[in-house]
Amino acid sequence: MRNRSLREIDDFLGSAHVFASAVTDIIEQRLLDNVVEGQVTASQMKLLKLVATTNTYTLGDAALFLRVSNASASKTVDRLVRHGLLRRIEDPRDRRVMRLHLTRASRRLLAIYENDRHRKLLSIFVQFPDEELRRASELLDRLSADIVDHNSNPQELCLQCGIYFRERCLLRQLVPQNCFYQRALKGVAPTPQQAGCR
């Protein structure tokens, strides 16, 4: 029975890994390649989505969200600024802090990307009833919560949902997590430890 359980678990984890790869490689990357035609990379799109969702962010926040060093995040921001897709604006309260804002061009690009993404996702998921998707989502969240809970540090920033910014997150309810999305909505700055290079 134990071997059979492990085999079932391995099969499930293999399926989850294949699903995650399909989302990343086919839905996200291929859609990005088709829609924006090389205008931005995946990490640049991720940063644009972060700024769009939160309206304004600092370079340190961008580095934390992208899980890169401040220097690497700065290069990503520089490229987006050069291409007219981001603006840096000095914080009036602290001149050392530069806030990031979208431009008209980046808003147009994001709108095109999101429209195509929604159309693609709806065509893929049309065969699955909402309730079935909700149950699958809850199962994955419960399993993720059990995995995360064993290694959880409530002070660490949770970046598990990536660019999907989930308002309703079972993981956040089950395991004490410092949610990036919720912090962004509340305008809470990361601690110096969280904002350090990774």
- pLDDT in the model for residue 190: 42
3-class state of residue 111 by DSSP: helix
- pLDDT in the model for residue 193: 38
φ/ψ of 7, rounded to 5, equals -65, -45
Alpha carbon distance 79, 99 (integer Å): 16
- pLDDT in the model for residue 186: 63
Q: Which domains does the chain have, with CATH numbers?
A: 2-195 (1.10.10.10)
Residue partners of 48: CB distance under 8 A and separation at least 6: 40, 80, 85, 86, 102, 106, 109, 110
Rounded average pLDDT per 10-residue block, the chain, 198 residues: 71 86 82 81 87 75 82 91 91 78 93 89 91 90 73 56 61 60 57 35
Alpha carbon distance 26, 30 (integer Å): 5
Q: What is the pTM of this model?
A: 0.71
For 118-136, give one letter per residue: b (16+ CB within 10 A) or e.
eebeeeeeeeeeeeeeeee
